[in-house]
Amino acid sequence: MKRAVVFAVCVGWISSAAAAFDDGNDLLQICTNEREFCLGLTSGYYDMMRTMGVTCPRASNVSRGQVRDVIVKYLNDNPAKRNQSASFLAATALTQGFGCKKPGT
17 in a structural domain: no
105 in a structural domain: no
Instruction: Tell me the C-alpha distance between 4 and 10, whole Å.
Output: 10
Give 48's pLDDT tier (boundaries 50, 70, 90).
Answer: very high
What is the CB-side half-sphere exposure of residue 36 using CA atoms within 13 A? 0
Please give the share of the chain, as a percent, with pLDDT higher than 90: 71
pLDDT digits (tens, 9 = 90+) for 16-45: 445 568 999 999 999 999 999 999 999 999
Say what the pTM is: 0.80
Domain span at residue 43 reads 2-12+23-98
Q: Which residues sit opposite 55 in a β-bridge? A: 101
Please provide the average confidence, as pLDDT, over all residues in the chain.
85
Please count the structural domains in the chain.
Answer: 1
What mean pLDDT is predicted for residues 86-103? Answer: 95
The three state secondary structure string of 63-98 is: CHHHHHHHHHHHHHHCHHHCCCEHHHHHHHHHHHHH
